[in-house]
Structure 1
Amino acid sequence: MVAARDGRTPEETPERGTGLRQSWEALPWLVRSAVVWSACLVVIAAGLYLLARITMLVTPLAIAVAATLFLAALLDPVQLALRRLRLPPAPAALLTVLLLLGILGGVGVLVWNLTANQFSELADELSQGLARTRDLITSTLPVTDAQLDGLLNQLRQTVTEQEVDPVSSARTVTEVFGSALLALVLLFFLLKDGRSMWHWTLSRMTGPNREIATEAGRVGWRTLGSYSRGTMLIAAIDAIGIGLALVLLGVPLALPLALITFIGGFVPIIGATVAGAVAVLVALAADGPTTALLTLAAVIAVQQIEGNLLEPLVMKRQVRLHPVVILVAVTAGALIAGIAGAFVAVPIAAVAWRVIDSVQRQRQAVAAASPPATPPEEPPTSDPAP
């Protein structure tokens, strides 16, 4: 008999695995489940941490790619309409990008001419609104002026202690300009060759994986397009609704506040809350508490109509996310990449959720369509000899 390397015979070696299995099965099911789930959470957390670290190292590239995908999904119907007019792929993509630049440039010049002189007034109105808010807090709550001044001075000191580095500022400006230029170049090539690149990728897959990837890509692209177009429409409706309410209430600086509301609409929940708070502060500084309360009621009414009526109709059910998921995604995006990360976090989360759900459904469909495995036939038993 040949002995194993640890000194035991081959017949004794399997007993070790059997003993470990018996010890594992002897543990309560709750302990076994906790061990398995803890191990899975550790692996997932390590993967997310590694992904976040890599994203932070290539933040400008990641933001440029995310912005490119967002704009491509938004402008894809325009590019398809130009292609239906018998335009080749390259001119159609170029005209789409030029149309985007023309709209952005025209809107930017128009908004700047209308609001450039009002932003300084907006800062003054915000300062007066904060001062009135401070008076209301000290008069209605058990907080003294000294305590509130100490808290504000500590916050102001924390902000002013951060020295501005000219080299770092120049680097940031260069990264922003480079990311914007890279996004435009990537947008042109994605509109021009995006579908051919996707078909080339699918051609390298075989079997059921190709069908799963095809459906997942279709669902993800449809989700991103619906989210981008729906978010822009809802942000415009919010800006128009709140702007009209401010005009009817006689609140000054209605156009800059509507612009802030439109920009804030691209950051769900948090952006709308900040924009509404700015409008209420300006109304408080300009016309007093009564107008501020009416402005707050108008902001809440517009947001409730948007959240309960417009969003289900425009965004569709498959694009909507739970508010907890939105808050976590926006916070994580802001921590990783600042304001730009907060803008792109929610569409990334929506697309990732829809792709994962589509892959799971496709795998279940493939498993249900595959024939069940037949058990092996037992050999016929012979009758015992007499």
Structure 2
Amino acid sequence: MVEDEGGRTPEVTRDQPRTAGPRQTWAGLPWPVRTAVTWSACLVVVITGLWLLGKIAVLLAPLAIALAGTLFLAALLDPVLRLLRRLRLPAAPAALLTILLLLGILVGVGVLVWNLTASQFGELSQQLGQGLERTRDFVTSTLPITEEQLDRLVQQTRDGLSGSAPDPVGGARTATEVVGSLLLGLVLLFFLLKDGRSMWHWVLRRMAGPRRDLTAEAGSAGWRTLGAYSRGTMIIAAIDAIGIGLALVLLRVPLALPLALITFLGGFIPIIGATVAGAIAVLVALAANGPTTALLVLAAVIAVQQIEGNLLEPLVMNRQVQLHPAVILVVVTAGTLIAGIAGAFVSVPVAAVTWRIIDTVQRHRTASTA
């Protein structure tokens, strides 16, 4: 820098240009650009986080499904455990007896259904063949399609299904993962029933101040929601199975008990499960007894589902469990894509509990700041 005659450095005049700092550059941008940049950065962060969570969920899908199913069964069986504890039974025998009761019911129902319907499978295979022939004649006579085109379409569908079938190695690995998840779930269920409350109290004792009260409140709300969902869903699924099974018996549709059992299991997948179970019942009635019986079964399925949605669900389900149907569809679809049928079973209770915990935390913070 050049000095003047007195040896002093001349001051920088205001007319000389200065280098703008990052803050000045950001402030100089128009507000739509700043808003777009901010939202884009947040969106990138959120999408990256969801992608990482999805990758972790896929890698740990068997463990996550086992944990979710264990919590669901523990909430379902909690009243039985508390009843046994009131009878002065120790924690370990009470938990073991509760699990044995669950396994006894499942095995007993399976054996009963098999003994009552095993003789009907051979007859049903013939009736399905006749029903498919009637369906084929109806399609070719009603729609603008020839028998050759329909046969070609059926063959392409069969080839696609056979091509997408898993290889023996993949099937064996999947079966091993399923068996391992079931065994892990049973062991975790025993320890959760035996020591669940003491483990939760241990977690709370490690916290202090307002965080402890918030955690206790959110955990209690989530557990109540899971218990209300599990018991309410089981009651509604049982009523659906009884109603549709009774209609199938009155209409003399074969395999009424297995179809009622499928309806009961489908009731644990909201919206989609009931629809699929009803469609299976209608197809079996069509193949076995013809279109008139199929229409009557369809009417019975629709009537039972309307009674369930408009009367039973508001009475049985707690309001804090209810989710919007659009949310349920998205959650069930996401769970199915991640972990198949098991993911569809556990996705809705996980979403309901998560939402209840978030809502409890928000209400607690609002009350504390008011």
Whether TM-score is above 0.5 comes out as yes
Map of 2:50 onto structure 1: 48
Note the C-alpha offset of 1:227: 0.9
CA distance 1:129–1:267, shift in 2 (3 Å): farther
For residues 291-310 of structure 1, the aligned pairs below 5 Å read 291-310=293-312
Counterpart residue type for residue 157 of structure 2? L
1:214 aligns with 2:211: no
- Which stretch of structure 1 is more off in the superposition, 302-311 or 122-131? 122-131
Kindly report which structure 2 residues correspond to 1:143-154, keeping only aligned pairs within 5 A, or say none.
143-154=145-156
Is residue 124–residue 288 contact of structure 2 (8 Å, CA) maintained in 1? no
Report % sequence identity: 72
* Compared CA separation, residues 59 and 128, structure 1 to 2 (3 A): farther
1:188 aligned residue: 190
Matches within 5 A, 1:313-328: 313-328=315-330
* CA contact 1:227–1:319 (8 Å) conserved in 2: yes
Deviates further, 135-144 or 285-294 = 135-144
- Residue matched to 1:256: 258
From 13, 21, 24, give the equivalent of 1:16: 21
- Which residue of the other structure, out of 232, 235, 256, is the alignment partner of 1:233? 235
Instruction: Provide the C-alpha distance between the structure 1 equivalents of 2:46 and 2:132, rounded to a whole number of angstroms.
Output: 44
Q: 1:113 aligns with which of 101, 112, 115?
A: 115
Q: Deviations over 1:327-348 (max 9, x none)?
A: 1111111111111111111111
Q: Could you tell which deviates more after superposition, 63-72 or 33-42? A: 33-42
- Deviation of 1:195 (Å): 0.9
Q: Which residue matches 2:5?
A: none
Contact 1:93/1:188 (<8 A) preserved: yes
2:289 paired residue among 269, 281, 287: 287
CA shift for structure 1 position 258: 1.1
How many angstroms does 1:45 deviate by?
2.5
SS in 2 for 1:318: helix
Residue matched to 1:161: 163
Q: Does 1:101 align with 2:103?
A: yes
CA contact (8 A) 1:235 1:265 kept: yes
1:140, distance to aligned residue in structure 2 (A): 3.0
Q: Secondary structure at the match of 2:207?
A: coil
CA deviations 1:194-225 (Å, max 9, x no partner) are 11111111122222222221111111111111
Aligned residues between the structures: 355
Amino acid at match of 1:221: W
Q: CA deviation at 1:15?
A: 5.7
Instruction: For 1:193-204, list aligned pairs within 5 A.
Output: 193-204=195-206
Q: Deviations over 1:126-176 (max 9, x none)?
A: 454444334333333334434433332222111112355333322222221
Alpha-carbon distance in structure 1 between the residues aligned to 2:368 and 2:131: 61
Quote the Cα distance in structure 1 between the aligned partners of 2:144 and 2:354: 47
User: How do residues 350-365 of structure 1 correspond to structure 2 at under 5 angstroms?
Assistant: 350-365=352-367
What is the one-letter code of the residue matched to 1:322?
A: H
**Deviation of the 1:293 alpha carbon:** 1.3
Relative to 1, partners in 2 of residues 1:290 and 1:16: Cα closer, same or farther, differing over 3 Å?
A: same
Identify if the C-alpha distance between structure 1 residues 174 and 15 changes in structure 2 by more than 3 Å, giving closer, same or farther. Answer: same
Aligned letter for 1:224? L
| Higher mean C-alpha deviation, range 65-74 or range 263-272 | 263-272
Which residue matches 1:172?
174
Provide the residue aligned with 1:27 in structure 2: 31
Instruction: Rate the CA distance shift 1:273–1:43 in 2: closer, same or farther, 3 A.
Output: same
User: Deviation per CA, 1:303-362, whole angstroms, max 9, x where unpaired?
Assistant: 010111101111121111111111111111111111111111111111111111111111
Q: 1:82: which partner in 2?
A: 84
1:376 aligns with none
Instruction: Indicate the SS of the match to 2:254.
Output: coil
- For 1:379, the equivalent position in structure 2 comes to none
The CA distance in 1 between the partners of 2:263 and 2:154, in whole Å, is: 26
User: Amino acid of the residue matched to residue 27 of structure 1?
Assistant: W
Q: Tell me the distance in 2 between the aligned counterparts of 1:286 and 1:201.
A: 57
Please, which moves more after superposition, 76-85 or 31-40?
31-40
Distance 1:154 1:313 in 2: 47
Confirm whether residue 243 of structure 1 aligns to residue 245 of structure 2: yes
CA distance in 2, matches of 1:135, 1:35: 61
Correspondence list, 1:124-139, <5 A: 124-139=126-141
8 Å CA contact retained: 1:119, 1:256: no
Q: Tell me: CA distance 1:118–1:353, structure 2 relative to 1, closer, same or farther (3 Å).
A: farther
CA contact (8 A) 1:118 1:256 kept: no
Residues in 2 aligned to 1:134 and 1:41: alpha-carbon distance in whole angstroms? 51
Distance 2:317 2:308 in 1: 11
Per-residue CA deviations over 1:20-39 (Å, capped at 9, x if unaligned) read: 34234x323xx555544443
Residue 68, structure 1, aligned to residue 70, structure 2: yes
Distance 1:62 1:153 in 2: 38
The structure-2 alpha-carbon separation of the partners of 1:215 and 1:134, relative to structure 1 and needing over 3 Å to count, comes to farther
Tell me the residue number matched to 1:3. Answer: none
Q: Which residue of 2 aligns with 1:383?
A: none
